[in-house]
């Protein structure tokens, strides 16, 4: 078994942080087996090195090694990419195609960003992990494969399981061994070593002298948060190598290349609770509001029909007190007068008794008679009502509350009348 130092030299891994060394040790120990491995860590920490180590130290090293970025393949084609398809299985499938699990039989498949897999694909992958079987898209013939799976993700898998975006059974099958790579901010003693390595590589690549940092610049480099981890550090080293004429980099020069919003190595704010304002919650609230509105409309229709049937406001108000409170609320400062509420912009004349069979006339004649009476009385009542409101407002110097009390109506009704008559 090769030592950790030998593996780091062989695969170009730089650093001596204990957490990094422990991750490499676990990779060396698990490599001779066929156990599934899940590599976790933030984006840019170098997770792709671990599956290469595992493959090269295993008995599968002479067979194929295929790396698949699950997040880069569209959802509609990922099943075809991984498991293959039969001719005519879907539009554009002009010939039979072998998938990665068929091509890599006997080798290793590295599933990067496995947390991005669709749920349907996760079911297929679980079957491969359990018994090595899979079906091509459009085929009913079960095929066998002998593939070692190493997966990697920067997603919080427990949160994804809670949100039902990742299957819990698949997670535990993939993470038989979990190897975590630390972020660069937790490897402060390795930051300058990595920078020097990148600066040397770019000096050779662009055929120019190697850049060097002053002592103050080194301190700024170490204290920076490095949200993009090793990938971000490499990009900064390349920019400085190409753009700076002076090959000695001062603190001010280095600071100008670093993002201003993450200049210090402060603790990260990690979201641990599930959001309650997601789309599904908003949709449920909207449905509830719509259903409540529908119920209120039905109740209002019921009251209107009963009023038309009985013809007596007081009886309707008494028999349906709870229903009226439900629709119009129960505001103590502005008591609801049902007789006032049902009138909108016109004065409604309500009969004081129910018409008997003896008093009944043909329906058509009755409606014509009611229309003529209503037209004559409404005009005179409007004039009287307008005159009373004007006098009451003048008497109380425009104070609506006192005027409403004198008129025997609510302040809200008086306000509506003021707007109606443009007073």
Average pLDDT over residues 229-250: 95
- Is 56 part of any domain? yes
How confident is the model at residue 410, as a pLDDT? Answer: 83
Instruction: Mark whether 140 and 34 lie in a shared domain.
Output: yes
Instruction: Mark whether 397 and 423 lie in a shared domain.
Output: yes
How confident is the model at residue 94, as a pLDDT? Answer: 87
Instruction: Mark whether 160 and 206 lie in a shared domain.
Output: no
Q: Give 299 or 390, the one with higher predicted confidence.
A: 390
Instruction: Mark whether 389 and 415 lie in a shared domain.
Output: yes
d(CA 21, CA 27): 10
Q: Which helix (H) or strand (E) holds 178?
A: strand 177-180
Confidence of residue 324 (pLDDT cuts 50, 70, 90): low
- Is 105 part of any domain? yes
98-149 per-position pLDDT tens digit:
999 999 999 999 999 999 999 999 999 999 999 999 999 999 999 999 999 9
203-225 per-position pLDDT tens digit:
999 999 999 999 999 999 999 99
Instruction: Mark whether 387 and 320 lie in a shared domain.
Output: no
Total structural domains within the chain: 4
Instruction: Mark whether 40 and 178 lie in a shared domain.
Output: yes
Instruction: Mark whether 88 and 227 lie in a shared domain.
Output: no
> At a CB cut-off of 8 Å and minimum separation 6, what does 295 contact?
none
Domain that holds residue 8: 4-182
Instruction: Mark whether 170 and 198 lie in a shared domain.
Output: no
- Is 267 part of any domain? no
- pTM of the prediction? 0.61
The encoded tokens of residue 397 equal: 């110097």
Map residue 31 onto helix, strand or coil.
Answer: coil
Average pLDDT over residues 41-68: 95
- Is 271 part of any domain? no
CATH of the domain at 23: 3.40.50.300
Instruction: Mark whether 22 and 99 lie in a shared domain.
Output: yes
- Is 268 part of any domain? no
Instruction: Mark whether 49 and 142 lie in a shared domain.
Output: yes
- How much is the mean pLDDT over the chain? 81
Cα dihedral sign for 194, 196, 197, 203? positive
Instruction: Mark whether 121 and 155 lie in a shared domain.
Output: yes
How confident is the model at residue 329, as a pLDDT? Answer: 54
How confident is the model at residue 381, as a pLDDT? Answer: 65
CATH of the domain at 242: 1.10.8.60
d(CA 215, CA 250): 8
Confidence of residue 93 (pLDDT cuts 50, 70, 90): confident
Q: Is residue 46 within 8 Å of 197, Cβ to Cβ?
A: no
Q: Is residue 181 within 8 Å of 41, Cβ to Cβ?
A: yes
Domain end point (choices 313, 342, 371)? 342
Domain end point (choices 342, 367, 385)? 342
Percent of the chain at pLDDT exceeding 70: 76
Q: Which helix (H) or strand (E) holds 54?
A: helix 49-56
Instruction: Mark whether 241 and 334 lie in a shared domain.
Output: no
How confident is the model at residue 90, as a pLDDT? Answer: 85
Average pLDDT over residues 142-167: 95
- Is 419 part of any domain? yes
Domain end point (choices 342, 360, 393)? 342
- Is 123 part of any domain? yes
CATH of the domain at 409: 1.10.10
- Is 270 part of any domain? no
How confident is the model at residue 323, as a pLDDT? Answer: 59
């Amino acid at each position: 078994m090769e030592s950790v130092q030998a593996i780091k030299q062989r695969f170009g891994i730089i650093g001596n942080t204990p957490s990094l060394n422990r991750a490499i040790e676990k990779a060396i120990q698990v490599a001779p087996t066929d156990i599934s491995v899940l590599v976790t860590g933030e984006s840019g920490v170098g997770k792709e090195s671990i599956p290469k180590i595992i493959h090269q130290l295993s008995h599968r090293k002479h067979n194929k090694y295929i790396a698949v970025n699950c997040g880069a393949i569209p959802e509609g084609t990922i099943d075809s990419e991984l498991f293959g398809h039969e001719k005519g299985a879907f539009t554009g499938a002009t010939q039979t195609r072998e998938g990665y699990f068929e091509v890599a039989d006997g080798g290793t498949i590295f599933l990067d960003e496995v947390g991005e897999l669709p749920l349907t694909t996760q079911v297929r992958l679980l079957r491969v992990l359990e018994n090595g079987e899979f079906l091509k898209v459009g085929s009913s013939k079960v095929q066998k494969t002998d593939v070692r799976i190493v997966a990697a993700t920067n997603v919080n898998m427990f949160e994804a399981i809670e949100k039902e975006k990742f299957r819990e059974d698949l997670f535990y099958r993939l993470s038989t061994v979990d190897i975590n790579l630390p972020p660069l901010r937790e490897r402060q003693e390795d930051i300058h070593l990595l920078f020097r390595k990148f600066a040397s590589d770019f000096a050779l690549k662009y055929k120019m002298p190697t850049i060097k940092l002053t002592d103050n610049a080194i301190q700024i480099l170490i204290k920076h948060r490095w949200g993009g981890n090793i990938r971000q550090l490499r990009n900064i080293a390349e920019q400085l190598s190409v753009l700076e004429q002076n090959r000695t980099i001062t603190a001010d020069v280095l600071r100008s290349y670093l993002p201003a919003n993450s200049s210090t190595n402060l603790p990260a704010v990690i979201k641990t609770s599930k959001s309650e304002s997601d789309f599904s919650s908003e949709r449920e609230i909207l449905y509830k509001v719509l259903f409540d509105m529908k119920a209120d409309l039905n109740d209002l229709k019921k009251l209107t029909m009963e009023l038309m049937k009985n013809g007596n406001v007081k009886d309707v108000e008494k028999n349906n007190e709870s229903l009226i409170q439900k629709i119009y609320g129960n505001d103590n400062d502005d008591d609801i007068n049902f007789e006032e509420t049902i009138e909108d912009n016109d004065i409604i004349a309500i009969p004081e008794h129910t018409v008997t069979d003896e008093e009944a006339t043909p329906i058509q004649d009755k409606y014509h008679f009611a229309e003529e009476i209503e037209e004559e009385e409404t005009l005179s009542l409007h004039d009287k009502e307008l005159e009373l409101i004007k006098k009451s407002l003048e008497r109380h110097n425009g104070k609506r509350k006192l005027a409403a009390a004198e008129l025997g109506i609510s302040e809200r009704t008086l306000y509506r009348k003021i707007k109606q008559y443009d007073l």
